[in-house]
Structures are given as C-alpha cells and as structure tokens.
C-alpha cells in the first residue's frame, strides 16, 4: 500500500468511526440516541487510535492536514509530499462520510432537526462567535500537535503509542471541545461537509459554508504553532517562524477578547 492510500484509508476509518458515533448519538431512533458528549469524545479518541494502528506503519498516519503541515514547517516531513497527503486525507474523509450516511439510511427521515443532521458530518459552535470559535480550534489543535510530538519523544511499550494519541484526542474533546465540537482537523470537517452538501439527505438544510473556514484555518494555525512550540521549547531550536506565528496567534486571541467585550457593551 502506498503512503497516499494509507492516508486515504486512515482518514476514512477516522471519519467512519468518529462521525459514526455522532450519528448514533444525535439521530432519532438509534439505540445510542442521547448518550451524550462523553460517548462522542470517547468514540473519536478510539477512532484516531484505530486509524493510527491501521496505517501508522504505511504513511505515518497523519490523518490530519494540520499535523502534516505542522511537521513540514519544522522540517520533520517533506513539503513536496504535503499536497498529496492533504488530498488523500480529504478524499478519505469524504468517503468515510458517505459510508456513515449509508449506515444510518433509515434514520435521516426520522430526524427532523437539520442541525442534528449536519452535526453527523461537520462541526458547529455552541455559541456562534467566529473569532472565538477560531481561537478554540486553534488552541485545541495546538495541544494536539504538541502532544503528538511529546508522545513520540517518549518510550512506551511497543504498539502503545496509537492508544496514547487516542487518549490525547479524548482529553482534548472533554476539556476543550465543548465550544466548537473540536474539529482540530480540516479534513475531518471539510470532507464530510462536502459530502453533506452532495448527498440526498432528506430535509438536510444548509451545509453552513459561512462557518466552514473556522475548522480549516484555526486547526492549521494551531497545528503549525504547536509544532514550532515543541521545536522551540522542547528541542531548543530557535526559529523566527515561531515568533511570527506566535504573534499571529496572539493577535487572534486578543481580537476574540475585544470582540466579546464589544458585544457585551
């Protein structure tokens, strides 16, 4: 299997199991309906672990453009391979979302709420404040990429690393994910959102393209800064790029703070 196919299959597995657990929780008349946020976060954590176990030895199991770009920025992955990896991740996420749609075929008509149908595919904020939502996605992905690099620097019992990364995703979901649904992965959100747009889902409503930039740009910026932070602080490699990207992140955080202040005034 090629690295391209590995990323495609890995991201497909992530979306089948991750979006699949959301479908079980939010769609009407499933046996797991209303089982809650703990179930969703646990499902996504296990989905990531299974995906890494499946293709980690083939492609490195980035299964996330934010991870791919973050590694490329610090020189841990060739820039020449970045476009193919991201394309594979998007295709895999799209296919995974179609499989989730097929799995829940009888339940779409039984569910009236359009937001619940979209939630199976893509994220949406609990409180719609785009700049604050952007910062939440940025922070979550910062922790993800920093955590992945830190985990990789430790020695675990052979074969345990994917499970630890799965626990990292679970922890991010439990601690930070309640604001936006923790996409922390542009492919995981965009691929299924495209699928939602094209699939013949009864009464599906809007695919919410106005929000779609948040779970793309936020994770990319957060992932890059997470990788640069690890390189700067843990490895002691000074980089001008670290200070440039850090400044952009700080501006975003301050902007979100002042926007919230203005809305409260």
Question: What pLDDT, on the 0 to 100 scale, is given for residue 158?
Answer: 66
Cα separation of 265 and 246, whole Å? 29
Question: What pLDDT, on the 0 to 100 scale, is given for residue 143?
Answer: 98
Q: Residues 137-195: pLDDT tens digits?
A: 999 999 999 999 999 878 666 688 999 999 999 999 999 999 999 999 999 999 999 99
Cα separation of 260 and 265, whole Å? 9
Cα separation of 141 and 36, whole Å? 23
Question: What pLDDT, on the 0 to 100 scale, is given for residue 258?
Answer: 82
Question: What pLDDT, on the 0 to 100 scale, is given for residue 157?
Answer: 63
With 0-12 / 13-18 / 19 or more C-beta atoms within 10 angstroms meaning exposed / middle / buried, residue 83 is exposed
With 0-12 / 13-18 / 19 or more C-beta atoms within 10 angstroms meaning exposed / middle / buried, residue 262 is exposed
Pair 93, 121: CB distance under 8 Å: no
Q: Residues 1-56: pLDDT tens digits?
A: 899 999 999 999 999 999 999 999 999 999 999 999 999 999 999 999 999 999 99
Of 129, 139, 241, 141, give the one whose Cα is nearest residue 184. Answer: 141
In order of their start, the domains of the chain are 3-264 (1.20.1080.10)
Q: Please list, residue by residue across 45-71, b when 16 or more beta carbons sit within 10 angstroms of its beta carbon and e when fewer do.
A: bbbbbbbbbbbbebbbbbbbbbbbbbb
For 179-243, the DSSP string reads TT-----HHHHHHHHHHHHHS--TT-----TTTTTHHHHHHHHHHHHHHHHIIIIIS----HHHH
Cα separation of 124 and 176, whole Å? 14
Cα separation of 97 and 103, whole Å? 10
pTM greater than 0.85: yes
Query: CB neighbours of 155 closer than 8 A, spacing ≥ 6?
Result: none
Other CB atoms within a 10 A radius of the CB of residue 99 amount to 16
Question: What pLDDT, on the 0 to 100 scale, is given for residue 257?
Answer: 83
């Amino acid at each position: 299997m090629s690295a391209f196919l590995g990323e495609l299959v890995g991201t497909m597995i992530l979306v089948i199991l991750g979006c699949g657990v959301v479908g079980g929780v939010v769609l009407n008349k499933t046996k797991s309906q209303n089982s809650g946020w703990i179930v969703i976060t646990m499902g996504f954590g296990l989905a990531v672990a299974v995906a890494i176990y499946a293709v980690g030895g083939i492609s490195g199991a980035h299964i996330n453009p934010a991870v791919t770009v973050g590694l490329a920025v610090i020189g841990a992955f060739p820039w020449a391979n970045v476009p193919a990896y991201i394309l594979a991740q998007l295709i895999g996420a799209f296919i995974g979302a179609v499989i989730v749609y097929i799995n829940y075929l009888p339940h779409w008509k039984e569910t009236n709420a359009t937001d619940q149908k979209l939630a199976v595919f893509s994220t949406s904020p609990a409180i719609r404040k785009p700049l604050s939502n952007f910062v939440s996605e940025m922070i979550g992905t910062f922790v993800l990429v920093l955590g992945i690099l830190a985990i990789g620097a430790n020695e675990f019992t052979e074969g345990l690393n994917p499970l630890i990364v799965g626990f990292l995703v679970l922890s991010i979901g439990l601690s930070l994910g309640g604001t936006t649904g923790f996409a922390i992965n542009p492919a995981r959100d965009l691929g299924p959102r495209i699928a939602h747009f094209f699939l013949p889902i009864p009464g599906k409503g809007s695919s919410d393209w106005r929000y779609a930039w948040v779970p793309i740009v936020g994770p990319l910026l957060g992932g890059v800064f997470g990788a640069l932070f690890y390189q700067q602080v843990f490895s002691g490699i000074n980089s001008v790029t670290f200070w440039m990207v850090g400044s952009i992140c700080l501006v975003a955080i301050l902007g979100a703070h002042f926007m919230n202040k203005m809305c409260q005034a």
